[in-house]
Amino acid sequence: MIFNTKQEKAKKFNYIPRFYDKKKEDVRHEKMKQGEEPNVEFRDYLRINLQEKRKMRQKSTRRVFVWLGLLIILLYIMLS
């Protein structure tokens, strides 16, 4: 057989698109924090808890840099 006349069929994937609704997630997170949503999975609780800790760490880091910047400016003014 010199020529292959059969063509392969296109591959099909079982992909179902998902949509992210920021407002819906925020409302759900607030309910989970307040304990109003009883069907909370432990994984979701941990994820939200880690996100809150990360935000607090970022705020703390920013606060340190602001104070450090103010201190440097103050020292520069005092030494000039």
pLDDT at 17 (0 to 100): 79
Q: What is the pLDDT of residues 11-69, one digit of tens each?
A: 888 888 788 888 988 887 787 777 766 666 777 777 778 888 888 888 888 899 999 99
Within-domain flag for 66: yes
Within-domain flag for 64: yes
Please state whether the predicted TM-score (pTM) of the whole model is above 0.85.
no
Mean pLDDT of 67-79: 94
Q: Which domain holds residue 32?
A: 22-79
Within-domain flag for 35: yes
pLDDT at 78 (0 to 100): 93
| Residue 1 DSSP SS3 | coil
- Reference 49, options 26, 72, 29; nearest CA is 29
- Number of structural domains the chain divides into: 1
Within-domain flag for 32: yes
